[in-house]
């Protein structure tokens, strides 16, 4: 902690890297506890020196304030949901899939969808109802 200026996170990183190096060189290290301890302290001290040198040649990092951070939308959940829904849709019959496509995805009324599909409006309503039930079950099965 003293070598890192009481920076706990940096000290933990130094300890971790020192132990990794000890593990990698285990067959070369002396088994005498005094020599091993000296070796570990030397490695840790050199790691701190190396880190200080790296920091001195790099420009000072500035802290971002919340207003500096650009909002980044994470589309992963939305993409994953779209994939799951697409898979569930592929399990529907062609008639049910067309009814959902026309009414929900193309935002048509039941009458407009009936006209496009060439079936009565009641048939479109029925297909949408049963398609939604099947989708609900499929999505529940997928978690």
Kindly list the distances between the CA atom of residue 80 and the CA atoms of 75, 90, 135, in Å, as whole numbers in the listed order: 8, 16, 16
pLDDT attached to residue 27: 85
Are 52 and 17 in a shared domain? yes
CATH number at residue 117: 1.10.10.10
31, part of any domain: yes
62, part of any domain: no
Are 49 and 20 in a shared domain? yes
Distance of CA 104 to the CA centre of its chain: 29
Are 134 and 89 in a shared domain? yes
Reading the chain (143 residues) residue by residue, the pLDDT tens digits are 888 888 899 899 999 999 998 888 888 887 888 888 888 899 999 999 998 888 878 766 666 666 656 666 667 778 878 888 888 888 889 999 999 999 988 899 999 999 999 999 999 999 999 999 998 888 888 76
User: Tokens standing for 78?
Assistant: 């939305």
Are 84 and 52 in a shared domain? no
64, part of any domain: no
Are 88 and 125 in a shared domain? yes
Are 82 and 44 in a shared domain? no
2, part of any domain: no
Are 91 and 37 in a shared domain? no
Domain count for the chain, please give it: 2
Render pLDDT for 132-143 as a digit per residue (tens, 0 to 9). 999 888 888 876
Distance of CA 118 to the CA centre of its chain: 45
Query: Which residues make Cβ contacts (< 8 Å) with residue 122, sequence separation at least 6?
Result: none
What are the helix (H) ranges across 3-120?
A: 8-24, 33-57, 76-90, 94-100, 110-117
131, part of any domain: yes
pLDDT attached to residue 91: 87
Q: Whole-prediction pTM value?
A: 0.47
Render pLDDT for 107-121 as a digit per residue (tens, 0 to 9). 999 999 999 999 999
114: domain range?
Answer: 77-142
Are 45 and 86 in a shared domain? no
134, part of any domain: yes
């Amino acid at each position: 902690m003293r070598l890192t200026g009481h920076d706990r996170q940096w000290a933990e990183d130094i300890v971790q890297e020192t132990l990794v190096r000890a593990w990698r060189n285990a067959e070369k290290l002396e088994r005498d506890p005094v020599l091993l301890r000296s070796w570990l302290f030397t490695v840790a001290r050199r790691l701190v020196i190396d880190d200080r040198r790296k920091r001195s040649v790099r420009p000072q990092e500035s802290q971002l304030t919340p207003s500096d951070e650009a909002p980044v939308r994470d589309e992963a959940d939305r993409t994953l949901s779209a994939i799951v829904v697409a898979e569930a849709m592929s399990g529907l019959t062609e008639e049910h899939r067309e009814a959902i496509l026309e009414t929900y995805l193309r935002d048509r009324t039941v009458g407009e969808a009936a006209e496009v599909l060439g079936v009565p409006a009641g048939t479109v309503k029925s297909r949408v109802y049963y398609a939604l039930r099947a989708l609900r079950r499929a999505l529940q099965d997928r978690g």
